[in-house]
Structures are given as C-alpha cells and as structure tokens.
C-alpha cells in the first residue's frame, strides 16, 4: 500500500511541475519572452495561468520550490521524506526542460 502511495505521489509531482512550467512558459509567450518575477503574477494577474499557489507548499508529500526571474526559472518538487513520501526530485527549467533524479 505504501509503495502505491509513493508511486502516486511521484506521478502527481511530475504532473504538477509540468503544469507550473507550462503556465510560466505561456506567461512568457504572452509577455514578450519575459518570465514572471513572482508566483502571484501567475495566480492573481489579469489572466490566471495557475488556479492556486504552489511555492513552498507541501502537496501529496512533495514540497514545491519556485525560483523565478525575468530571464529564467526553475521549479523543483522534492519529497518531504525521501523514500516515504516520494522517491524522485523533479525539476523544470527555462524553456520547459524537465529533469528527474532519485532523491537521497
């Protein structure tokens, strides 16, 4: 049962990182290639690109960290407890490049 929950958490984190990255890339497309400086621009702006905040929140055992700048970004999802709430560190960077590695 624990293995199934961990697998589900890993999958949810991957989808969530992709969703956040897509929102950031869409924002940049609309704003002449400039990425948002804050998560609030994605949630509270004239056009909401995300329906809620993720930064520094724990969702399904993963903590989400967003590093945003006009020229680049990095979104990282890390398990709160490696091996118990998740097994991978999942990241997306500028231009939507996704990476994942085993957590330690």
- Give this prediction's pTM: 0.95
By the 8 A CB rule, do 43 and 57 touch?
A: no
Residue 19: the pLDDT is 97
Each residue's pLDDT expressed in tens, for the chain with a length of 104 residues: 889 999 999 999 999 999 999 999 999 999 999 999 999 999 998 889 999 999 999 999 999 999 999 999 999 999 999 999 999 999 999 999 999 999 98
Cα separation of 55 and 38, whole Å?
A: 10
Distance CA 80, CA 1 (A): 18
How many Cα atoms sit within 13 Å of 91 on the Cβ side?
A: 14
- pLDDT value for 104: 86
């Amino acid at each position: 049962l624990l293995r199934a929950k961990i697998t589900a958490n890993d999958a949810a984190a991957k989808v969530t990182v992709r969703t956040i990255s897509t929102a950031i890339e869409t924002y940049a497309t609309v704003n002449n290639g400039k990425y948002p400086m804050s998560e609030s621009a994605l949630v509270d702006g004239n056009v909401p690109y995300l329906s809620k905040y993720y930064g520094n929140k724990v969702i399904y055992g993963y903590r989400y960290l967003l590093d945003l700048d006009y020229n680049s970004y990095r979104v990282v999802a890390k398990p709160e407890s490696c091996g118990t709430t998740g097994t991978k560190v999942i990241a997306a960077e500028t231009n939507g490049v996704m990476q994942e590695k085993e957590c330690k």
